[in-house]
């Protein structure tokens, strides 16, 4: 990982597009060979604009891949029991291979209880405790896992693979310890024989820890937190963060904000060898992995069906 004056951009849009083309071909094969269309149920609670935007993007991606998406929209005041009843019905529906519950849920709902109600085989987010444990114990190739792995860290791993990054023996730092990104990301990197350090809000002198890393994955949710003096020359940087900052000076009649990552991209490109941009880096891969997890769930259901018949 030799340094260069300006880092190469890891283009998640291009990599995700190629990956989604492969998924579409496999979905067509499932339909041709089994007469089945993979189905994804998407549960949306409330009217948060960001959640609605994400759901619409996921539904559009499903349609383009030939995956059937079925939406279940609830008011923000929905009762927990009503939501649980919906999940139970979807668990029992053989035409539904994946269940996605768009997060976050309103505060009056027990998010963990609802997520754990989803059948592990249909848990395309990889958040059920059984699938979390499966990942800890799994020793095989991530993309071949017989269970779902959280979409964002899995997408990060594919970005690293497609960018020619050999993780074996490398020092990797993951900034953030969430169950959705940080912890599964660390486990995936360990699975590639990397040496992994997890940093968090209580880590002393995060910058000095990051400067030892060959690969940095930033997933903390703080705009432009990672600067060039945090990065070892030639390191690879994966930016998971999606944050908004005001556009200054404000343009009359124009947008008032823009999306940025946890990494100060314009600063870090001067030091790193490869960096993902925001937007256009990790985000497209997260959606591609959702499609992949749904297809895997369908293929697994077909295998189970053939064994029992």
Point out the residues that are catalytic: 58, 102, 125
From residue 234, alpha-carbon distances to 169, 244, 275 in Å are 16, 28, 10
Rounded (10°) angle between helices 12-34 and 49-65: 50
From residue 146, alpha-carbon distances to 13, 31, 89 in Å are 26, 20, 23
Using DSSP bridges, classify how beta strands 98-101 and 8-9 pair: parallel, antiparallel or unpaired. Answer: unpaired
Angle at 194 between CA 192 and CA 197, to 5 degrees: 130
Sequence-distant (≥ 6) Cβ neighbours of residue 129 within 8 angstroms? 116
Sequence-distant (≥ 6) Cβ neighbours of residue 151 within 8 angstroms? 124, 125, 126, 286, 287, 289, 290, 293
Tokens of 115: 């997520």
């Amino acid at each position: 990982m030799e340094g260069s004056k300006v880092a190469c951009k890891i283009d998640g849009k291009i990599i995700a597009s190629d990956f989604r083309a492969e998924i579409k071909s496999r979905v067509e094969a499932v339909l041709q060979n089994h007469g089945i269309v993979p189905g994804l149920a998407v549960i949306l609670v409330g009217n948060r604009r960001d959640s609605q935007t994400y759901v619409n993007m996921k539904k559009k991606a499903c349609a383009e891949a030939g995956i059937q998406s079925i939406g279940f929209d609830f008011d923000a005041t929905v009762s927990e029991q009503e939501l649980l009843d919906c999940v139970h019905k979807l668990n029992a529906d053989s035409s539904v291979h994946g269940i996605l519950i768009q997060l976050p849920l309103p505060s009056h709902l027990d998010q963990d209880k609802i997520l754990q109600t989803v059948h592990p085989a249909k848990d395309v987010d990889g958040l059920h405790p059984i699938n979390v444990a499966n990942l800890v114990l799994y020793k095989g190739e991530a993309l071949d896992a017989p269970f779902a792995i959280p979409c964002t860290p899995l997408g990060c791993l594919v970005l690293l693979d497609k960018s020619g990054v050999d993780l074996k023996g490398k020092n990797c730092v993951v900034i953030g310890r969430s169950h959705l990104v940080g912890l599964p990301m660390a486990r995936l990197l360990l699975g590639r024989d990397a040496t992994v350090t997890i940093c968090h809000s209580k880590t002393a002198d995060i910058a000095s820890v990051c400067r030892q890393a060959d690969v940095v994955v930033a997933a903390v949710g703080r705009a432009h937190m990672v600067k060039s003096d945090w990065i070892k020359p030639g390191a690879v940087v994966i930016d998971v963060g999606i944050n908004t900052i005001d556009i200054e000076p404000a343009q009359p009649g124009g947008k008032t904000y823009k999306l940025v990552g946890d990494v100060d991209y314009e600063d870090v490109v001067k030091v790193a060898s490869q960096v993902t941009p925001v937007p256009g880096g990790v985000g497209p891969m997260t959606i591609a992995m959702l499609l992949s997890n749904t297809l895997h769930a369908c293929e697994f259901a077909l295998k189970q069906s053939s064994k029992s018949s």
